[in-house]
Structure 1
Amino acid sequence: MKILDRYILQSFLSTFATVFVILFFIFILQTVWLFIAELAGKDLDIFLVLKFLMFAMPRIIPLVLPLSVLLASIMTFGSFAENYEFAAMKSSGISLRRAMHSLVVFILLLSVASFFFANNVIPYAEYKFINFRADIAKRTPAMAIAEGQFSDIGTYNIKVDKKSGENGNHLTGVTIHKKAAIGNTTTVIKSKTGELSTSEKSNILQLILNDGNYYEDVTPKDYNDRKKLPFAKSDFKKYIINMDLSKLNKNDDESSADVSTNAMLNVSELSYTLDSLHKSYSKDVASFADNMYQRTGIVSIQQPMPGNLPAKTPGTLTRPIPPSRLPVAQKPADTTKKVPLQNNLLAMFTRPQKGPLLKVAKSNIESVAFTIDGSSFDRSEKIKNINNHQLAFYDKFVIAYACILMFFIGAPLGAIIRKGGIGLPIVFAVLIFITFHFINTFGKRISQSDEMPPFVGAWMSSFILTPFAILLTYRATNDIGLFSMDTITEPIIRFFSSIFKRKKDQLPES
């Protein structure tokens, strides 16, 4: 490696490392903010918090890495151009393209490493992250309940006056409001003491209450009896409530909704899962179509009479003979010209019989329509699941290409704007990365709803910004500015020059 290549590479690496650490710290703070409800007030020691953040760190890399490459490229090449180092290189016969050789090799290696990181490390970290959140609830179940306030756990709102014990499992002064499916809370449970217990192999949290009472409002069927406000009340020495631990870590992070199905899988596992999902979807569609066809009754109508059946041999299937192939004497009479089919069928019944028949037909149609609506919703959910897995599959490759793309945008842009430091380069980097991230998110959202192929949705931002990277690289290597005003001013000058020349020619000679 030549001295110049080593110098450019060292300058880029130092800037890249600094930018990466700063951005990584900023995104870590954002992660803490997203999961602050699970960390604050839970009596977690510093080791568990650090372990929680360690498992959450890898999911930040796909955002931090491309942005770090972009910002470091703009700052490094902008500093070279601002300090006239590129001018010295060009005077020595070294072009911008030649100066980028060492960094191109490094970016290619970085993109390959990012692919393996996204394919192996991130799925494992996501698996550990989700399971660690559940393990925290199993090890210290009392963290889900705070003192002196109501805590929402599944279908219960629980309030305790005081927690004690090694893990806060012993409760004093327990008040529980059980949520109603519709309307206000109608069930209240109070006890003097309680205890939380669970097992690491179980997803059920047991709340054992001692010395309390159970109160429940009763809603009679008779409306007049409801004015009496009846209720049921009972005392108990011991009462056990089972709660689902999966409700303890409920949050509003949309990405965690499908993390267990696609983000924890690598490329080979996603490929295998997608194949299974496609086969299952095709099987469900065929089963639904066959079911709906059977419900129409067309099969029984098309069954031929015994006299029309051909000779049956063992191992063969018989099919109905179409009317066009029946002998002339056996062809059914054409009655459709005289009376339509539906009127002919109803004419076979009396007027009192037609009403029940039409009601049955209407009921069947409504039942079929309801079945179709339910199947349509189920089909859309399965398609969304398939699209999410396909997007996760393509994301492994998008992050690798994004590193290359951001370098070929940032390096020529820095050489063109000729400004280093952290001022103007940050503005350009943030604008470009926000555009990239917005288009990427927009494409994924559309692909999830099956309005666009997942391949196009995952690669949309790369497809749109690649021509921009090519244009910037071309203009920088050919010493052309970011915006050439000559392309705008020359046609205007040429237009007015032709007008003034025409007027000059029209003036009479003195």
Structure 2
Amino acid sequence: MLRIKKLDIFVLKSFLLLFAGTFFICLFIFMMQFLWRYVDELVGKGLEMNVLAQFFFLSALTLIPLSLPLAILLAALMTFGNFGERYELLSMKAAGIPLLRIMRPVVLFCLFLGVLSFFFQNVVGPKAQKELWTLLVSMKQKSPEVDIPEGVFYSDIEGYNIYVKHKDRKTGMLKDVLIYNFSDGFENAHIIWAEEGKLELTADKKHLFLHLYNGEQFENLRSQSVISRNVPYRRETFKEKHTLIAFDTNFEMVDGNFLNQRSDIKNMREISLAIDSLSMYADSVGRSLYKEAMDRTYKEPPLTARDSTRLAEQKITHINTDSIFNSLTAAQKYKTLNSTRSRVASLASEWSLKSFTTQDVDGRIRGHRSDWHKKITLSLACIIFFFIGAPLGAIIRKGGLGMPVVISVLIFVLYYIIDSGATRVAKSGEMNIVLGTWMSTVVLAPLGGFLTYKSNKDSVVFNIDVYAAFFRKVFGIRVSRHIFKKEVIIQTPDYAEDISKLEKVSAECADYAATHKLLGPPNYYRIFTNNTPDDAIAGISRQIEELVEELSNSTDTVLLNMMNNYPFLSVKAHKSLFDNRWLNMLCGVVVPAGLLLWLNIWRYRVRLDKDLKVIIKTNKDIQERIRQKLL
């Protein structure tokens, strides 16, 4: 029986508080991105507030399934990052509670969110998507508000071009107005110029009422006879003129039945039925095209009786067209080739045109199948993103809106690139539609499992120091010593004994350098066959570390600074690459790689010779310092 404990309530409450904030932030970001795509077509049309509210509400409903995974990822990262940063996660683990047990209440909640996301995509989403696209088409078809700019011809009113030199913003009067009326055709254009004018919208919002003052009107009086060359015209001068222009600005919803072929406005059952219908239609079209092609292929002109008799007498079972072609004259060959080329081009053009039907149907089938699987993959993304975000937060142990936001955005961008790219390739027919739609899940699910496993085992997979030490080892980069004066010294060094130890270490360093001749090239065979450890260098390194540990209790700052000159010795890098002899021999056999490794080991030997000289000099300086100041 599932028992709810205070720990579950604490973890779930911490997650819910962050999830509520991140969800609305993600939803707002996606809504703004969606609005930005259509802002140019919607601005300046005088849409009422209820229409805009309906637009934002429907877009929010359709974007909920996309916002949930990112919100879960960000909230999980921040929640478990806060636990790690405040050492709450460490306390829970110290009490014997494994990470998976800590995550259990949030896992159950994310499972519920996944089911809720599937419900939205399969029930609410299709209806909201259809109403949203219908509303968008209606908003696009609505006529824009009349806002005639200065010094530019305004052509948004159908059949008219209006030019205004100056506008009085306070009174609404237009100065120096020029109007081209093409409603009766371009050849029967009406041209009106007025010194002043004013434009108003009628009460029914279906006409523009134009008031013009002190102007002239010019129009052609073209005769109905086509052969007439003289075109009379009429010129009129007026003090005041009023005219109506048809301009309907009322918002009307269009019929959304034209969207029925879209796959994103259908639930899974409707998509399955549509796929069956499209498949049957594609099969029927394919069979008819195949039958037509076969009929055309095997429809050959019959042989005459004379030709049949002659072929039978000569016992000819097949005709060699190459020999017939070679027997033709040059003119006949040219005519035959031209005829064949034209025929092939005609057939290719005909079948290319016919293939558009099958390609369109196949594309629609792939789109329906992709949307069917997308409803499942988006729901699973809610769970997968939690198993990525929660372990990452437990590993990096950083809360707040800094590092978690950066990591969340990078992971979601990776998911979006994989998902959109693979889905687009699959819909084009170049990839299996199931594989393309599930590609993001196939890539990110193992990542979530790997991170969950590593965080449950307290892995240092994101410990920067581990990677820094690895690359320092690969490239031979060493850290420097940093010895500082201690505030509290429990035991002072025995300087007399330390002097003798320093003498001993210096003698061993000098003896090793003289015996091994480190500056010369090493023996290639011995490097890749001798895997015994170098006990001499290991002993020198151990003695130096003991001396540094003892002398660091000194109060002499100069002495402490001298010990910073001691290098960290590499006890294995100058001998061989691996402890396994056969692995070393395998590297030596591969000549290009073995040669590079041999040169790298020679570099380490030269560095060791330099380190030994630095140790001897540092020992000598420390001995002199002890004798001068401390004895």
Q: Could you tell me the TM-score, scaled by structure 1's length?
A: 0.70
Structure 1 unaligned residues grouped into runs of 5+: 163-171, 179-184, 199-204, 217-229, 250-256, 306-329, 505-510
- Does the CA contact (< 8 Å) of 1:274 and 1:390 recur in 2? yes
Report the equivalent of 2:265: 264
Alignment pair present for 1:61 and 2:40: no
- Does the CA contact (< 8 Å) of 1:42 and 1:144 recur in 2? yes
Q: Which has the higher contact order (CA 8 A, sep 6+)?
A: 1
Alignment pair present for 1:479 and 2:482: no
CA distance in 1 between partners of 2:118 and 2:89 (Å):
32
Q: Shift of the alpha carbon at 1:409?
A: 0.1
Report the equivalent of 1:114: 117
Alignment pair present for 1:280 and 2:281: yes
CA distance in 1 between partners of 2:230 and 2:69 (Å):
63
Q: Shift of the alpha carbon at 1:159?
A: 4.4
Report the equivalent of 2:563: none
1:329-363 per-residue CA deviation (whole Å, 9 max, x = no partner) reads x97854368x723655998x999988776655443
Residue 458 of structure 2 aligns to a residue whose secondary structure is coil
Report the equivalent of 2:378: 399
Q: Shift of the alpha carbon at 1:81?
A: 0.8
1:86 maps to a residue whose letter is L
Residue 421 of structure 1 aligns to a residue whose secondary structure is coil
Report the equivalent of 2:20: 17
Counterpart selection for 1:469 from 434, 448, 463 = 448
1:279 maps to a residue whose letter is M
1:335 maps to a residue whose letter is I
Residue 265 of structure 1 aligns to a residue whose secondary structure is coil
Report the equivalent of 1:335: 316
- Does the CA contact (< 8 Å) of 1:416 and 1:476 recur in 2? yes
- Does the CA contact (< 8 Å) of 1:417 and 1:482 recur in 2? no
Residue 57 of structure 1 aligns to a residue whose secondary structure is helix
1:401-427 per-residue CA deviation (whole Å, 9 max, x = no partner) reads 100110000000000000110011001
Counterpart selection for 1:389 from 351, 364, 368 = 368
Alignment of 1:87-236 (within 5 A): 87-136=90-139, 141-143=142-144, 147-148=148-149, 150=154, 159=161, 175=180
* CA 1:234–1:464: 2 relative to 1, 3 Å: farther
1:482 maps to a residue whose letter is V
2:413 maps to a residue whose letter is I
* CA 1:477–1:381: 2 relative to 1, 3 Å: same
Q: Shift of the alpha carbon at 1:283?
A: 2.2
- Does the CA contact (< 8 Å) of 2:85 and 2:397 recur in 1? yes
* CA 1:377–1:276: 2 relative to 1, 3 Å: same
Q: Shift of the alpha carbon at 1:44?
A: 1.3
Alignment pair present for 1:439 and 2:429: no
CA distance in 1 between partners of 2:332 and 2:471 (Å):
86
Report the equivalent of 1:317: none
- Does the CA contact (< 8 Å) of 1:215 and 1:231 recur in 2? no
Alignment of 1:304-343 (within 5 A): 333-335=314-316, 340-341=320-321, 343=323
Report the equivalent of 2:296: 295
2:264 maps to a residue whose letter is A
Counterpart selection for 2:408 from 418, 424, 429 = 429
- Does the CA contact (< 8 Å) of 1:150 and 1:157 recur in 2? no
Report the equivalent of 1:449: 428
1:100 maps to a residue whose letter is M
CA distance in 1 between partners of 2:190 and 2:78 (Å):
64
* CA 1:353–1:287: 2 relative to 1, 3 Å: same
Alignment pair present for 1:44 and 2:47: yes
Q: Shift of the alpha carbon at 1:191?
A: 8.0
Q: Shift of the alpha carbon at 1:37?
A: 2.3
Structure 2 unaligned residues grouped into runs of 5+: 165-176, 193-198, 209-216, 223-228, 235-242, 306-310, 477-530, 534-569, 577-600, 606-631
Counterpart selection for 1:31 from 34, 43, 48 = 34
- Does the CA contact (< 8 Å) of 2:130 and 2:259 recur in 1? no
Report the equivalent of 1:327: none
Report the equivalent of 1:312: none
Q: Could you tell me the TM-score, scaled by structure 2's length?
A: 0.57
* CA 1:478–1:14: 2 relative to 1, 3 Å: same
- Does the CA contact (< 8 Å) of 2:395 and 2:462 recur in 1? no
- Does the CA contact (< 8 Å) of 1:187 and 1:215 recur in 2? no
Report the equivalent of 1:375: 354
1:278 maps to a residue whose letter is S
Q: Shift of the alpha carbon at 1:142?
A: 3.4
CA distance in 2 between partners of 1:398 and 1:304 (Å):
66
CA distance in 2 between partners of 1:501 and 1:459 (Å):
50
CA distance in 2 between partners of 1:346 and 1:187 (Å):
64
Residue 143 of structure 1 aligns to a residue whose secondary structure is coil
CA distance in 1 between partners of 2:187 and 2:332 (Å):
52
Q: Shift of the alpha carbon at 1:396?
A: 0.5
- Does the CA contact (< 8 Å) of 2:46 and 2:145 recur in 1? no
- Does the CA contact (< 8 Å) of 1:412 and 1:472 recur in 2? yes
**What is the RMSD computed on CA atoms of the aligned residues?**
4.8
Report the equivalent of 1:225: none
Alignment pair present for 1:418 and 2:397: yes
1:459-507 per-residue CA deviation (whole Å, 9 max, x = no partner) reads 1111111111111000100111224638947986999644546799xxx
Report the equivalent of 1:70: 73
- Does the CA contact (< 8 Å) of 1:147 and 1:159 recur in 2? no
Report the equivalent of 2:505: none
- Does the CA contact (< 8 Å) of 2:423 and 2:436 recur in 1? yes
- Does the CA contact (< 8 Å) of 1:144 and 1:151 recur in 2? no
* CA 1:416–1:187: 2 relative to 1, 3 Å: farther
1:182-209 per-residue CA deviation (whole Å, 9 max, x = no partner) reads xxx988965889999x9xxxxxx999xx
1:139-195 per-residue CA deviation (whole Å, 9 max, x = no partner) reads xx4337654564569xx7864679xxxxxxxxx9875789xxxxxx98896588999
* CA 1:353–1:481: 2 relative to 1, 3 Å: closer
